[in-house]
Amino acid sequence: MKLKKDFSIQKARRQELVKTIQNDQDVADGSLVLLVAGFENDRTAFWQESSFFYYTGITEAATALTLDFEDKTSLYIPNCGDVREKWIYSSISLTQENAKQLGVDEVTVLGDRCAGYQLFPFFKAESYGHIIAWLKKIVADDAQLFTLYPANEHEYVEQRLVMNHLCDFVPGLKERIVDISSIVAEMRRQKDMDEIAKISKAIEITELAHEAAAQSIKKGMLECEVQASLEYMMVGAESRASFPSIVATGKNATVLHYTANNAELKDGDLVVVDIGSVFEGYCSDLTRTYPVSGKFTARQKELYNLVLDVQSYIADLAKPGMYLRSNEHPEESLHHLALQYFKKYGYEKYFIHGLGHFLGLDVHDVGDVSIPLKENDVFTIEPGLYIPEEGIGIRIEDDYWMAKKGCISLSENLPKSVEEIEALVQQQFDDTGDIDDTVDFSDIGKTEH
Ligand code: GLY
Ligand code: MN
């Protein structure tokens, strides 16, 4: 079967990973790198585990990849027998025939035939028999197993489950595990041009979604109706939300990860729309704050412009060598400098979250914020003010790419000034202040208010 996709980037990344491990450690003979894909579940659409995707380009669940230090790469797939193709859509066929194009030396099964077409982190030993045979050899040879097993238990949870489960089958394996998550994080932090292009495409889709959101905002609409308008654009663009869309009006906007999205929009209130979409695995994350009436009040405008000033002040300061956030170096930490700016106006206690995060295959991408910023980092700058007693939440978030001398906004096409935001919301109003032409979701089932 002919493959359209090119897997050479992933192959080069794996070679760099192996080289970095070798520079970092004394690698014993017979050692292995093991990367494990994510697993499907019934509650959410499957989305490949990001580091596995980064090094393989493979989007199928429950697969695994081993690299030895003699340049042999094996891709393992669950042994689902002949029902596999009846259940699993795969844009590429993972067969030995395609191994060369997949950039691996062999494509084989993980072990014996598994009961269904899915495989879960608590598989039977026989289903992983081929990997387990390798792992037993690692223990016998006193070699190392390099894999994603960080001390921080919030990361790589499924991978940790798989490793713990494998350790139950292979006595002595736990002591042979060497965590590679910080090497992987440093590699993933540095985006190449292909990744920048994909993030930019994800940003373009989110810009369209924001325009749709702004044009569906008017008094009487529900937050979920605005959400439906913007997600319609994402799905239509063959994308999806990179995290649960936040459409939060009035006091709801002071709850950072508000997701109920069921309140009614009221004249005089603001709406925070914090959304992102995905393009070929890469995420965007953009926030705008809109006035329901199409016009900011004087007080809202004052606060909005302060948040905007902080964002542009920080974007001007952000250069290689500065920190996204560092408690040890507050004078070079963008987060602390933003706090200082708010403090001048007496608002520091209303800025209640981090200034930004790395962006990539995950919306809160890997990378240590206390390691100085460097060229080809991609990150958000998202100052905000949250004043529950006034029912006001404001956040402005854009996505930036670090260049040699400073950062470049990747989302500058999305309106941001008070005048631009007001014009965008008002664009669909007719003379009565109502929306002329929009998708009507009013007959679709909703909760009572
Ligand atoms: N956009 C959501 C967040 O950064 O947490
Ligand atoms: Mn964000």
Distance from residue 355's CA to the centre of ligand 1 (Å): 10
- Dihedral through CA 185, CA 190, CA 195, CA 199, nearest 10? 80
* Same-domain pairing of 226 and 175: no
DSSP 356: -
CB contact at 8 A, 350 and 277: no
Structural domain span for residue 26: 8-188
Q: Residues 280, 404: one domain?
A: yes
Whether residue 299 lies inside any domain: the answer is yes
Domain contains 309: yes
CA distance 443 to 449: 15
Give 243 Cα–ligand 2 centroid separation in angstroms. Answer: 10
Q: Residue for token digits 């704050």?
A: 289
Q: Is residue 432 part of a domain?
A: no
Total structural domains within the chain: 2
**How confident is the model at residue 119, as a pLDDT?**
87
Is the shortest distance between the CB of 398 and ligand 1 below 6 Å? no
Ligand 1 neighbour 274 (Cβ under 6 A): yes
Give the Å distance between the CA of 204 and the centre of ligand 2: 16
Whole-number pLDDT of residue 434:
56
Determine, yes or no, domain membership for 63.
Answer: yes
Does 197 share its domain with 179? no
Distance CA 74, CA 143 (A): 18
Q: What is the pLDDT of residue 69?
A: 96
Cβ of 269 less than 6 Å from ligand 1: no
In a domain, 443, yes or no: no
Q: Domain boundary residue among 167, 188, 209?
A: 188
Given 188, 216, 237, the domain boundary residue is: 188
CATH number at residue 355: 3.90.230.10
Residue at 16 is within a domain: yes
Sheet containing strand 246-249, edge to edge, reads 246-249, 270-275, 286-291
CATH code assigned at 101: 3.40.350.10
What spacing in Å lies between the alpha carbon of 379 and ligand 2's midpoint? 9
Please work out whether the CB of residue 362 comes within 6 Å of at least one atom of ligand 1. Answer: no
pLDDT in tens, the chain (449 residues): 444 678 999 999 999 999 999 999 999 999 999 999 999 998 999 999 999 999 999 999 999 999 999 989 999 999 998 888 888 888 788 999 999 999 999 999 999 999 888 888 999 999 999 999 999 999 999 999 999 999 988 999 999 999 999 999 999 999 999 999 999 999 999 999 999 999 999 999 999 999 999 999 999 999 999 999 999 999 999 999 999 999 999 999 999 999 999 999 999 999 999 999 999 999 999 999 999 999 999 999 999 999 999 999 999 999 999 999 999 999 999 999 999 999 999 999 999 999 999 999 999 999 999 899 999 999 999 999 999 999 999 999 999 999 999 999 999 999 999 999 999 999 988 655 555 554 444 444 443 43
Ligand showing the shortest atom-to-Cα distance for residue 257: 1
Please check whether residue 248 lies inside any domain of the structure: yes
In a domain, 158, yes or no: yes
Q: Is the beta carbon of 223 within 6 A of some atom in ligand 1?
A: no
Q: Determine the pLDDT at residue 449.
A: 37
| Cα torsion angle, 411, 415, 416, 417, sign | positive
The answer on 335 and 242 residing in a single domain is yes
Same-domain status, 276 and 207: yes
Clarify whether residues 140 and 232 are in a common domain.
no
399 lines ligand 1 (CB under 6 A): no
Residue 217 is encoded by which pair of tokens?
């905002």
Its pTM surpasses 0.85: yes
Query: Based on the domain organization, do 195 and 184 belong to the same domain?
Result: no
